[in-house]
Amino acid sequence: MNLINMNAILNSYKKGILKDEIVHQEVEKIINKSSSIKNKEVLKTCFKSLDLTSLNLKDNETTIKEFIEKVNKLGTLYNEIGNIAAICVYPSFVKLAYNTLNKNGIKIATVAAGFPHSQTMIEIKLAESMLCIHDGANEIDIVLSIGKFLNGKYDEVAEEISEIKASIKEKKLKVILETGALETAENIYNASTLAMEAGADFIKTSTGKINVSASPFSAYVMCNSIKEFYKKNKRKVGIKVAGGITSTEDVINYYTIIKEILGEEWLNNDYFRIGASRVANSLLSDFYNKDIKYF
């Protein structure tokens, strides 16, 4: 993909929602609606959009295998709520995941290309991404080069994303914006648009590895950028919220934001993902009306 003058491309997008104070006001209005839409169908949709994740310092072959075996039993034990969208593990465990997971439609995702800070050479990013696909990954989550982006090197950032997408071909590429580091609505909007123009299949809020993770503020801006991108390009891009999501109420807030801005057609796991393992127990408990601590 030949990306020429990304700054000009970004300037071609409508940016009427980029004042931070207006975004906060609009988010509050939407979230006020969220308590009225909590029902079993919504809980089921959210559960089926989960990317159950294990990205811990102490991960090892034993803990990952135990994690996946629980996922394998999930559909049998709690079949009424459906099954999750994907599991996400570090690159070194992708082959183990591929050999252990009873797929049943569940995707294998991994974090690659210098996760979590994206501070390595493009050759390494490409090699790691391709090796993960070779080992069985269906989806690659990478981090946008935040330092370069904040330094205004938009063409370099876009070209990097484009090269990685080309290297993994038809497999899904999720680009993590690390919105807590971008801080402003304008930065989040521009990073979202840049990632999509460069070929991202999903844009994702956060790594969960810095103090400020996902927020309704960032999700609102990202959804608006997806909406505008779709109007211009007729290509649907998904959104993944991740980092700091701990309760059913958190999930319903994000569900409501996506419903209000993008509509029902985005509310399936082809275009909506939640990267939050801790919230799985909460969704199960609320769906079955009893305390469940499966994970």
136 dihedral zone (left: phi>0; alpha: psi -120 to 50; beta): left
What's the token pair of residue 164?
């990685």
**Could you tell me the end-to-end alpha-carbon distance of the chain, in angstroms, rounded to an integer?**
42
- If 0-12 CB within 10 Å is exposed, 13-18 middle and 19+ buried, where does residue 275 land? buried
Q: Are 225 and 177 in contact (CB under 8 A)?
A: no
- Catalogue the active-site residues: 141, 204, 240
* CA dist 291 → 134, 166, 294 (Å): 40, 45, 10
Helices (H) and strands (E) in the chain, counts: 13, 8
- If 0-12 CB within 10 Å is exposed, 13-18 middle and 19+ buried, where does residue 252 land? buried
What SS3 class is residue 158?
Answer: helix
